[in-house]
Structure 1
Amino acid sequence: MSRSEPEVAALLEQARRMPDGEARAALLEDVVRHADAGGLHRLAFAARRSLANTYSVRGQWDKAFPLFSRCLSEYDARPGEFGPEEDWTLRRWYASIAQSMAEFPELGLDQIRGAFEDMEGRFRAGGHSLRDVYDGRRWVAQLVGDWPEEERCHRQWKAAGGFDPDSVWSFEAEVERLVLRGDDASVARALDLAGPVLAGQVVFDEPPAPIQCLMLLPLARAGRLEEAARAFHRARRAMEHGVYRYEYTAMLIEFCALTGNEETGLSVLRECLAFSTRLRRPSGTMEFATAAAVLLRRLVADGRGGETVRANGSDLSWPAAELHRQMASTARDLAARFDARNGNTHQGDRIGARLEADPVVEFLPLTPGARRPVRPAIPAGMPPEALLDRAEWHKRRFESPLVRRYLAAVGTPPPHLAARHAELSALTEWRQADPERAEERLRWAAEAYRQAGDQRRHLVCLCRLADLLCERGRHHEGLPMVARAVAGLRRDGDDALIAQGELLQAQSLTSAGQYQKADLALARAVWHAMACGDPILIGTIALTEGTWRDSDGHPPARVIALADTARSAFAAADSPGQVVRAYELRRRAHERAGAPHHFTELVERDLAALPPSAPAQLRGYLRYRRGVALIHAGRPADALEDLIDGVGEARSRDADTAEQGYELAVAYRAAGRPEDVVETAADVADWLERLRDLGELSRAEIPDWNRMLLAEAHEALGDRTLALEEYQKVVGSARQRNHPRLLLDALMPSARLQHVLRRDAAAAAAYREAGDVAAALADPHAVATCRASEALSLHRTGDLQRALAVLAQAQAAAGALPPQPPDRLAGTWAVVFRSAAHVLSAAGRLQEAADHAARAAAAFRQAGDATEAAELDRLHARTLSRQAQGG
């Protein structure tokens, strides 16, 4: 059914308001069909242009070519039906299309040059500037690697008035050409040119993310590491909320790969990997594939080729080594296709050099205190048996990541080692919530040991299987099994193995609720562990018993003694991770005893006594705990260095927690470092909310407090829209969880930002809700402030009558305020007077408005806000001037 012109126009407007995506593309396709069917050529033109943009955002750049071709032919066939707007749109679009053609190697240079000649003829015929023509020709020459032609077109572009000081893309072109030339003088010039932009001294109409991305590796190579880290974070933050070509994402990934930040690079890669498989723009695909291959090559070289790389938001996954081969092959193949088209080896040489590039630095810290991830190198050629010995050594120390690393290095084990490999794999899978697979492997390993005549391993494996079965509620199977196995170990007579068996039997009995029998088994485990003198066994049993006693509410002194036994034993066994767990047990016991300061004193003493050779993990933990104590003592700024060191050390082992990130953000806020607050708080925001949903946080409010920190920091950096998004998330959470004080704390800044962003109706509604919540909380200052601000927002919507009514409510609330404290009273009246000045002025009550403006200025000065006072002085003067002129 055909639609009328108003209907088609309404559909087009509806589509333009939609976010980019499949739904928007589908609606625009419908608009094009309806417009064509009705002969609505101008609407069809506009819809095709919007559809081309949508296709490009979705990576379907090739679909834009036929849309442009149709618009161009329609324009030529019916010039009288189109106006200046279409003429301007077509010229700008032509320049973009001709440039995009060069990004498809199947389109020959003659065809591209022909498009530019046609375009130039049209520009000249219309008397238009050739700026866009020269810009496109310059970029094509840059892609081809024809630098003399690029230089000629660049001069023509500048002569045509090409550089726009307000446009990030004009500036980006100047920087990009220098970086791509690559010689020392050009790169030095790029660094000088980009310096003021990177420092925030030059701003544009859009975020400078493209320039920041281009300068990452030049900054790192110049040794300007802090600037590089700052540029990385700023670019990544801007690119989360804007549409940028995949070349810039590739620059982030490659920078991470060449600066020892493989984990961060993997995070960026995973975010866009699924989309990259659908990108239909060969030059962008080539750049992205090259960067991905550079990163994956680093992983393979680090022995992580078997690690799975999964694309976020999809089921797509690859082993790192396989994905590296695919990406490198794609990059080289596309470079070869471009070279065949261009008649030179420019792209092949450039891509090949990048694929084989060495790291720029061993490690560039992206955040204060960051350090290179702890991944002990596995010696090349280490035999499978030695690898399994090392895996077992780490297993006894509960270092699961290292166990998995050594197991992966074994690969497929030889037959005589298959049972050991299966048993260790089962224990890691069990702890990774795959008990079915773990049970299957333990059963197989136990039987394989039995058939091989390895009675000791067979019996210990049965004890582990029984522990798993009891943990899964299958006590009728597990308890007889572990009893028989431990009896066999006793007959064997090895104290260390008996201690292991008794401990596993105690754990099985505890799972079955047979606590008295478990205590007896644990006591026997202690005796045999002491008999053999194995510090790992002694520490493990003491830590297990201490944890049980702490959970059961036994006297804290007993738990502290067990924690100290475990701590000493693990220190003797060179097991810092378990030493830290023993400290944590003691901390919980002190808190349960109501004496957390005793633990803080212990931390201070032990930190002072640590030798320089102490394990980094232990030092980091103690510094972290001292930092937390300083936060609780109201000294968050003093806690910063301790927290930076402690969290950085934990993060290097992938052992940091979400709450640690929040505490670090608190310290950054106290130190006045909003950029670091953003990076830290944003990193843990979703993580904290997941933990709250699981009931695994010490305080349920932490995710909301963290988002408040994030919002404040965004606002301090001038990112008001991002700040508003975070405040509104807290508003939603507070409503859902019925937390009125938090709701008020989030509603007020949310409403203020709505007001600043000229979203006046939304601001008025938010202030109304905030005032209602404040009234329920009996907070009269907040009531008066919110009503006054609501009135001002209503005035800006044009609803003067409601504004006057709400202003009266604000004045009544302020009139009932207590006189103390005077500074808060002055601040509240200042807001009320300010709103009254604006609202009364709009109502034509100029003398009253002037009086209120003067009172507002005086109140703001009394409250210590000189800037706002000066603004009210100006309002006072303008109002008196209006009154003198008769309104």
Structure 2
Amino acid sequence: MSRSGAELAAMLEQARRMGHGEAQTALLEDLVRHADAGGLHRLAFAARRSLANAYSVGRQWDKAFPLFSRCLSEYDARPGEFGPEEDWSLRNWYASIAQSMAEFPEISLAQIYGAFEDMERRFRAGGHSLRQVYDARRWVAQLARDWPEEERCHQQWEAAGGPDPDSVWDFEVQVERLVLRGDDASVARALALAGPVLAGEVTFTEPSAPIQCLMLLPLARAGRLEEAAKAFNRARRAMYQGVYRYEYGGMKIEFCALTGNEETGLSALREQLAGFPTLNRPNGKMEFATAAAVLLRRLTAAGRGDETVRANGSDLTWSVAELCHEMESTARDLAARFDARNGTTCQGDRIRARLTAPPVVDFLPLSPGARRPVRLEIPPGLPPEALLDRAEWHERRDEPALARRYVAAVGTPPPHLAARHAELTALTDSEQAEERFRWAAEAYRQAGDQQRYLLCTCRLGNWLCKQDRFHEGLPMVTWAVGELRRTGRHELIARGELLHARSLSWAGKVPKAYQTLANGVRHALACGDPILIGSLALTEGTWREFDRFPPAQVIGLADTARQAFAAAASPGQLVRAFELRRRSHERAGAPHHFTDLVEHELATLPPSAPAQLRGYLRYRRGVALILSGRAADALDDLIDGVGEARSRDADTAEQGYQLAVAYRAAGRAEDAMETAADVAAWLDHLRELGKLAEPDMADWNRLLLAECHQILGHHASALEEYEKVAASARGRNDARLLLQALMPLAKIHDLLDEDAEAAATYREAADAAAGLGDVHVAAICRASEALSLQRTGDVERALAVLAQAEAMTGALPAEPAERLPQTWAITFRSAAHVLSAAGRLQEAADRAARAATAFRQVGEVTDATTMDFLHARTLVRLGRPDLAEPLLRAIIEAAGQETPLHQAAARALAETLEQLRRSAGPSRSAPNG
């Protein structure tokens, strides 16, 4: 079925508005077919151009070549049907295509240079600047590492106009060529050139992420580590919001690999792995594969070759070692193909050097307080039995991740250890736990190991109860514990009683569970095992806290657990005992008692104290400082505490939020933004699952994130975050939160001259404030709505809303008196502008004067002077320049020299004096006319 030109044009516009993806590509392919069938050559040309972009974003770069060839031949065959727009588009596209050709080693240099000759001929024939031609030639010479030719083309490019000062991509040309040359002098020039961009002193119409990525390793190698970390974080943030070539992601990955940030690099690699197999641009594939191989080689050398790597959003998985081999082979093969095409060894030499480059530093913190991740290094050569002993040791200390690594290190266990291996695997990995427990228990029974058989049966029954299968599990645990009691071994009985008590608790038999715990405590004390003593006390204390027993009882149990776990050198369980005491003090309404305990513990901690305990205590002191209104003072404690937790991959979303609060209070808006952004989605997810202790924290974090974006001038991001908070508040009918989001949201709309959006936002904010009974804010929002409506040109509606605002202001209560001037000031300011636009000049002059007085009452001198100026201008329009003159002179005296207000007032005074002279008539000394 044929479509009209108007329909196809609408389809093209629809496709251009769509996000990149399969749907957009399919629509454009359909559009090209219909345009060709209908003989709509100009429309087909535009559609092919858009389709080529879509293919490139979709990593199918090779598909752009035939599209360009068709457009070029159509243009040559029908020159009269195309206009200047197609001519301009074709020239730009030709330069891009010629560069892309060089990225495919199967395209010969003769073909590439032939394309350049044809392109240059066309540019010259049309009388166009050869700037793009020289730029494309320069890039191809750079790709071949022909530096003399690159320099010659660069000079020609500079002479033909050089870089567009607003284009980040033109600036990248100047930096990249120096970085890739690699000699000390070139890198030093690159650092000097990029410095103002990295510092934010020079900006472009697009983010500076390409420059930041290029400079990561040069900065690190120059010892400018803090700048390198900042560039990394800024690039990462910008690249979340845009589509960038794979090379830029590769630069971040390689930087992480060479600065001790392998985990961050691995996370970045996972993000891009799903699309890598379909990336059909050999040069980009070679660059990314090299960067990935650098990281994966380091992970393999660290003994992590067997770890699984899964591509985000995909079922694609590899082991680290397998993926390393694949990436390295890809990089080396493509480099060889490029060298064969170019007749050099430059690419191969460069790739080999990158693959074997030593680390730049042992560890570069990417955020303040960051630490190198703590990884358990299993001593080589340990026999399977020793590995399982160590796994049991960690499992008893409730450290399943560490226990799991020791179990995995065993590999295939010898037959006599198979049951222990299966049981420990079940304890540390929930997958197939039931089958493993059952197999292990039966293996113990057949081997005649009665004690292990009974304890494993307890664990199986306990696991079944945890899955709500009480009718199976509870009789099993009850029988096994009864048999354990017959052994007379206190340690085994205490373990069994603890498992029995937990099973009873899950089955809802709470009184019996408490009695069973008490039995377990007696046996634990008899054997003196501190892990058992602490575990029983911590379990009972946690239950009693949940059941609202007197806090003193819980605190006593928490202290028993603390002492036992300290003696057992079990820091994770020790921290949990501290947490139990904290919750009890908070329930008792005496959190300061816990703060005092934290201070005492920090003051008396020996240097050998576990880092986990020290980090926890510092974090808790930091939170206490925030709650006491000293958020800025909390920063050092929180950096240390959160950094320690992150080093173990044990940090929480709540910790990230508290750290962001402290950064913001200390005036470090960028650090606060980065931290809040990292945990925003995490907090939202926890709230959805009902696992956030303070559900509003997700919104507080987004408010803080939006505020930081606003401070840093990221208005689009700030709008997005405020909108998310507003949507959350609407969904939960939280008028107070809604107002907190809408007020700054409206102000940003104001700043961006989005007056209709500002008016609507102020209107909703006014309604929210009125619902809360805050008549001052409601009046201010109505007045601001009126001003925004006036700016849209809807003066009639603005006057109606202004009448509401002034009525609300007139009815304000006398108390609190300190709020009145601010409300008056904003209302009268809006009234002055709206009434002036409506031609009600006398009223406008009155409101301007009253606004100036009110602003001075609240110390807003600049706003007061601005209202004086409006007052003066309105008086002139009223025909009273004599009253305007002293106001203007006062403004000139008060406003700073060379400020816009000073200059405007000076011009207005000159006009006013001229009007006064005219109104006075001819002077007596003037000659007769």
Same fold, TM exceeding 0.5? yes
Contact 1:419 1:445 in 2 (8 A): yes
**Pick aligned residue for 1:614 from 609, 612, 619:** 609
Residue 383, structure 1, aligned to residue 383, structure 2: yes
Question: What does 1:333-732 correspond to in 2, within 5 Å?
Answer: 333-430=333-430, 434=431, 437-732=432-727
Structure 1, residues 380-417: CA drift from partner, whole Å, max 9, x if none?
33333222222111111111221122223223333332
Quick check: 701-710 or 289-298, which moved more? Answer: 289-298
Letter of the structure 1 residue corresponding to residue 485 of structure 2: R
Q: Which blocks of at least 5 consecutive residues in structure 1 are unaligned?
A: none
Question: What does 1:305-344 correspond to in 2, within 5 Å?
Answer: 305-344=305-344
Give the deviation of 1:91 after TM superposition.
0.9
Structure 1 residues 33 and 651 mapped into 2: Cα distance closer, same or farther (>3 Å)? same
Runs of 4+ in 1 over 6 A off after TM superposition: 880-887
Q: Please give the alpha-carbon distance, in whole angstroms, between the structure 2 residues aligned to 1:878 and 1:331.
A: 70
Partner of 2:270: 270
Letter of the structure 1 residue corresponding to residue 75 of structure 2: Y
Residue 775, structure 1, aligned to residue 770, structure 2: yes
Q: Please give the alpha-carbon distance, in whole angstroms, between the structure 1 residues aligned to 2:505 and 2:549.
A: 16
Contact 1:830 1:859 in 2 (8 A): yes
> Helix, strand or coil for the counterpart of 1:382?
coil
TM-score by structure 1 length? 0.95
TM-score by structure 2 length? 0.91
Letter of the structure 2 residue corresponding to residue 35 of structure 1: A
Q: Please give the alpha-carbon distance, in whole angstroms, between the structure 1 residues aligned to 2:239 and 2:859.
A: 38
Contact 1:302 1:377 in 2 (8 A): no
Give the deviation of 1:755 after TM superposition.
2.9
> Helix, strand or coil for the counterpart of 2:304?
coil
Quick check: 645-654 or 301-310, which moved more? Answer: 301-310
Give the deviation of 1:645 after TM superposition.
0.9
Q: Please give the alpha-carbon distance, in whole angstroms, between the structure 1 residues aligned to 2:320 and 2:97.
A: 36
Letter of the structure 2 residue corresponding to residue 529 of structure 1: A
**Pick aligned residue for 2:744 from 734, 749, 753:** 749
Structure 1 residues 277 and 864 mapped into 2: Cα distance closer, same or farther (>3 Å)? farther
Q: Please give the alpha-carbon distance, in whole angstroms, between the structure 2 residues aligned to 1:823 and 1:37.
A: 74
Partner of 2:886: none
Contact 1:120 1:133 in 2 (8 A): yes
Contact 1:309 1:318 in 2 (8 A): yes
Letter of the structure 2 residue corresponding to residue 683 of structure 1: D
Partner of 1:183: 183
Give the deviation of 1:752 after TM superposition.
2.1
Give the deviation of 1:339 after TM superposition.
1.7
Q: Please give the alpha-carbon distance, in whole angstroms, between the structure 2 residues aligned to 1:329 and 1:562.
A: 60
Quick check: 575-584 or 777-786, which moved more? Answer: 777-786
Quick check: 704-713 or 155-164, which moved more? Answer: 155-164
Structure 1, residues 39-98: CA drift from partner, whole Å, max 9, x if none?
222222222212222222222222221221111111111212222222111111111111
Partner of 1:231: 231
Contact 1:15 1:24 in 2 (8 A): yes
Quick check: 304-313 or 682-691, which moved more? Answer: 304-313
Partner of 2:883: none
Partner of 1:112: 112
Max Rg structure: 2
Structure 1, residues 476-505: CA drift from partner, whole Å, max 9, x if none?
322332233234433434322222122112
Partner of 1:299: 299
Contact 2:404 2:429 in 1 (8 A): no
> Helix, strand or coil for the counterpart of 1:318?
strand
Structure 1 residues 180 and 549 mapped into 2: Cα distance closer, same or farther (>3 Å)? same
Partner of 2:918: none
Structure 1 residues 742 and 475 mapped into 2: Cα distance closer, same or farther (>3 Å)? same
Q: Please give the alpha-carbon distance, in whole angstroms, between the structure 1 residues aligned to 2:355 and 2:489.
A: 55
Letter of the structure 2 residue corresponding to residue 578 of structure 1: Q
Structure 1 residues 833 and 58 mapped into 2: Cα distance closer, same or farther (>3 Å)? farther
Structure 1 residues 22 and 529 mapped into 2: Cα distance closer, same or farther (>3 Å)? same
Structure 1 residues 805 and 519 mapped into 2: Cα distance closer, same or farther (>3 Å)? closer
Q: Please give the alpha-carbon distance, in whole angstroms, between the structure 2 residues aligned to 1:30 and 1:679.
A: 42
Give the deviation of 1:853 after TM superposition.
4.6
Question: What does 1:35-114 correspond to in 2, within 5 Å?
Answer: 35-114=35-114
Partner of 1:808: 803
Structure 1 residues 763 and 215 mapped into 2: Cα distance closer, same or farther (>3 Å)? same
Structure 1, residues 490-524: CA drift from partner, whole Å, max 9, x if none?
34343222221221122222222333433333222
Structure 1 residues 850 and 154 mapped into 2: Cα distance closer, same or farther (>3 Å)? farther
> Helix, strand or coil for the counterpart of 2:103?
coil
Quick check: 369-378 or 830-839, which moved more? Answer: 830-839
Partner of 2:215: 215
Q: Which blocks of at least 5 consecutive residues in structure 2 are unaligned?
A: 880-910, 916-929
Structure 1 residues 161 and 400 mapped into 2: Cα distance closer, same or farther (>3 Å)? same
Structure 1, residues 231-281: CA drift from partner, whole Å, max 9, x if none?
111111111112221111111111112112222222222222212233222
Structure 1 residues 775 and 402 mapped into 2: Cα distance closer, same or farther (>3 Å)? same
Q: Tell me the matched-pair count.
A: 882
Structure 1 residues 89 and 826 mapped into 2: Cα distance closer, same or farther (>3 Å)? farther
Letter of the structure 2 residue corresponding to residue 627 of structure 1: G
Partner of 1:5: 5
Structure 1, residues 822-863: CA drift from partner, whole Å, max 9, x if none?
554333333333333443444344565455455545544443
Structure 1 residues 42 and 418 mapped into 2: Cα distance closer, same or farther (>3 Å)? same
Partner of 2:28: 28
Structure 1 residues 413 and 322 mapped into 2: Cα distance closer, same or farther (>3 Å)? farther
Partner of 2:282: 282
> Helix, strand or coil for the counterpart of 1:309?
strand
Q: Please give the alpha-carbon distance, in whole angstroms, between the structure 2 residues aligned to 1:134 and 1:883.
A: 63
Quick check: 779-788 or 629-638, which moved more? Answer: 779-788
